[in-house]
């Protein structure tokens, strides 16, 4: 075993916390933009956004508690650092991140279901991997409460590796399925094909980002010595990247519709481009309804004062 290093333990945790704070700030700005720009959005989306906000805020609190425990409560205490006592916040942070990841992956899995004309096989595979990973993460949580130290998480290496591996596979399959089914929507029209290309590029970039960080966490967890926490630094930001990809999907709907696809005209074969609320002619099945359509906020007539009409014949 390599000698214990403050850089590979407290230093790794501190760097992960710093990056997590920055990514959390980006997530908050996206959520603020969402509630400002989509006040009439579906209740389901609003509830999901609030749930993710609460989970990520708790996640950030757990990370902060871990940093405070080792850098403030046990300042200049190398014995405690070497002992690496397992804290409840460290375990719950892993759990909160897994729950956020499952929510976002399930959402993207539902996108696959819509774009694939409700292909139950590929969608079922994505959902199976998503909830299998969540189950493994919960099992990891239960087992972790019985560990004597943070370094002892390597005793659960098999369970953790399978869980992280499922996450990487899920991201790759989801991105690949979206690219495949999106390309089937091409019509030869420049405007519609341009939108399909944009959505395909977005699906690839999102999948590459999250799968790369997941793979980095997986490699660090298995390759680096047991008395280090480098893998924790990358895991701290992973769930926030999933949350950002979810919020970016919601926030780009209006911008995409502004690219000449905004007119929900009288064309008889219109289909909803699912996560963008965009209608495009002749691009798929007709029964996708108006899922994800953004409705304007509702106002009552009594909310506004009566308007007095000006009479030019009236004399003062």
- When the pLDDT of each residue in the chain is averaged and rounded to a whole number, the result is 79
CB atoms < 10 A from the CB of 111, how many? 23
For CA atoms 154, 155, 159, 162, the dihedral sign is positive
Q: Using CA atoms, how far apart are residues 134 and 15, in angstroms rounded to an integer?
A: 26
Q: Cβ-count burial of 170 within 10 angstroms (0-12 exposed, 13-18 middle, 19+ buried)?
A: buried
| pLDDT recorded at residue 83 | 77
Q: How far is it, in rounded angstroms, from Cα 239 to Cα 245?
A: 10
In angstroms, the CA 244 to CA 28 distance is 9
How far apart, in whole angstroms, are the C-alpha atoms of residue 276 and residue 290? 11
Residue 162's pLDDT is: 93
Q: Is the dihedral of CA 277, 281, 284, 285 positive or negative?
A: positive
Phi-psi region of 76 (alpha: psi -120 to 50; beta: other; left: phi over 0): left
Confidence of residue 269 (pLDDT cuts 50, 70, 90): very low
Give the gyration radius of the chain's Cα atoms. Answer: 24
Per-residue pLDDT reduced to its tens digit, 209-254: 888 899 999 999 888 887 788 889 999 999 999 999 999 888 877 6
pLDDT over threshold 80, residue 133: yes
Q: What is the pLDDT of residues 147-201, one digit of tens each?
A: 888 888 888 889 999 999 999 999 999 988 888 888 877 777 776 777 777 777 7
Enumerate residues 6+ apart whose C-beta is below 8 A from 115.
Answer: 177, 178, 181, 182, 185, 274, 284
């Amino acid at each position: 075993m390599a000698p214990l290093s403050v850089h590979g333990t407290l230093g790794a945790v501190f760097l992960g916390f710093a990056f997590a704070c920055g990514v959390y700030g980006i997530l908050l700005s996206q959520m603020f933009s969402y509630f400002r720009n989509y006040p009439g959005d579906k209740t389901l989306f609003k509830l999901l956004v609030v749930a993710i906000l609460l989970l990520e805020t708790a996640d950030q609190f757990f990370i902060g508690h871990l940093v405070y425990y080792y850098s403030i409560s046990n300042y200049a205490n190398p014995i405690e650092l070497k002992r690496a006592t397992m804290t409840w916040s460290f375990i719950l942070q892993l759990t909160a991140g897994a729950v956020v990841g499952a929510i976002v992956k399930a959402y993207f899995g539902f996108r696959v279901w819509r774009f694939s004309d409700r292909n139950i096989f590929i969608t079922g595979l994505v959902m199976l991997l998503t909830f299998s990973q969540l189950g493994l993460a919960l099992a990891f949580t239960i087992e972790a409460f019985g560990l004597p130290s943070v370094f002892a998480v390597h005793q659960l290496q098999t369970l953790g590796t399978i869980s992280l591996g499922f996450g990487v596979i899920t991201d790759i399959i989801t991105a690949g399925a979206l690219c495949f089914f999106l390309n089937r929507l091409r019509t030869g029209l420049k405007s519609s094909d341009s939108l399909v290309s944009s959505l395909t590029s977005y699906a690839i970039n999102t999948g590459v980002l999250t799968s790369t960080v997941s793979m980095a966490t997986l490699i660090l967890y298995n390759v680096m010595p047991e008395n280090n926490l480098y893998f924790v630094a990358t895991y701290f930001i992973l769930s926030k990247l999933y949350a950002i990809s979810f919020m970016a999907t919601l926030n780009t709907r209006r911008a995409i519709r502004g690219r000449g696809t905004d007119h929900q005209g009288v064309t008889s074969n219109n289909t909803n481009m699912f996560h963008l609320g965009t209608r495009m002619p002749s691009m798929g099945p007709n029964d996708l309804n108006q899922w994800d359509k953004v409705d304007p906020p509702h106002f009552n007539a009594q909310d506004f004062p009566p308007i007095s009409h000006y009479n030019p014949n009236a004399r003062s």
